[in-house]
Amino acid sequence: NNHGGELWGAIQARHFEVQPEMNDSSTDRVERLDLRSDVPTSWQFDEKLWKANEQGLKTDQAGASLLIAFEGSRLDVISRGGRSVADVKINGEAPSQLLSTWAATLPSRTPIDYRPGINRVKIHGQPVAETWTLTVDSASENGEEYTFSLKGSKSGDQGRGDHTEVFRSKNGIIELRPEWFALANAVKIKKKPLPVPFDLTWEVFPMVPDQVEFGADPKNPSGQTTLIQGLPSGSHQLELIPQEGDIHLEEILVFRTGETVPEEDTSE
């Protein structure tokens, strides 16, 4: 009712007050560059192929490389005009070649509970976009002891494991540890055994593509697209290579984490 709404508003409003005595470091971690007024001098591009004006930085020339130097861990672009396709490279490599740009979805639930059967998946090496299926072949009554096999939709059979040791797929991509399995928790909560065999699945995917599309999109009215993320904070160079159409770049957003993250730890 209205009284409840007023009470809830009074409780929450205090958390939105400006606190000038508090140090807000968030503004130092996001840098917005408006290309409609200025283009950084550190960027490299052919001024005969790229035009800078009040609409931003534009080109309709395929292959007209744009090198963007930045300090951070992620870079987004805002583009609401034109329509184009462009390749992306970061520090000379395609984003898919960097382990830090890959992620895994949360594995599916067990047959007896809505919670995930595995709480964590770690990725190594050079993954590919695919679906992974872990088949639990046997499980004790309390769920603490179990055996399983693993296969990838593209990688194929990747071996067998159990509750006694750390598992690594044959191709070295997937790592699973006994403490990440939640089978025993499901049994304890639901107070019934696991009906084996059953499958747990998850997806491994790149968080950013090697090729992006720009232009007006009703599903993305802001025009904001992430070109790269998951990088260790530091100096990087992103290369944008138009393949077709015309690109209108209005703004660039650079994000900084404030700390350097080892690449091996960003894949979880």
Per-residue pLDDT tens for 210-247? 999 988 788 888 999 999 999 998 999 999 999 999 99
Residue bearing tokens 């400006």: 18
Q: What is the pLDDT of residue 258?
A: 61
Q: Burial letters for 225-254: b for 16+ Cβ neighbours within 10 Å, e otherwise?
A: bbbbbbbebeebebbbbbeebebbbbbbbb
Length of the chain: 268
Percent of the chain beyond pLDDT 70? 93
Cβ of 75: how many Cβ atoms within 10 Å? Answer: 23
- Torsional sign, CA 115, 193, 200, 122: positive
Residue where the block lists tokens 């770690």? 122
Q: In which band, very low, low, confident or very high, does the pLDDT at 267 lie, cut at 50, 70 and 90?
A: very low
Average pLDDT, the chain: 92
pLDDT, position 169: 98
Does 11 have pLDDT greater than 80?
yes
Which pLDDT does position 262 carry in this prediction?
47
Residue 120: is its pLDDT beyond 50?
Answer: yes
Q: How far apart are CA 239 and CA 211, in angstroms?
A: 11
User: Which amino acid is residue 149, in one-letter code?
Assistant: S
pLDDT digits (tens, 9 = 90+) for 176-192: 999 999 999 999 999 99
In this structure, what token pair is assigned to residue 170? 């044959």
Reply yes or no on whether the pLDDT at 28 is more than 90: no
Is it the case that residue 72 has pLDDT exceeding 70? yes
**Is the pTM value of this prediction over 0.85?**
no
State the Cα–Cα distance between residues 169 and 214, nearest whole angstrom.
Answer: 38
Q: Enter the tokens of residue 47.
A: 């001024």
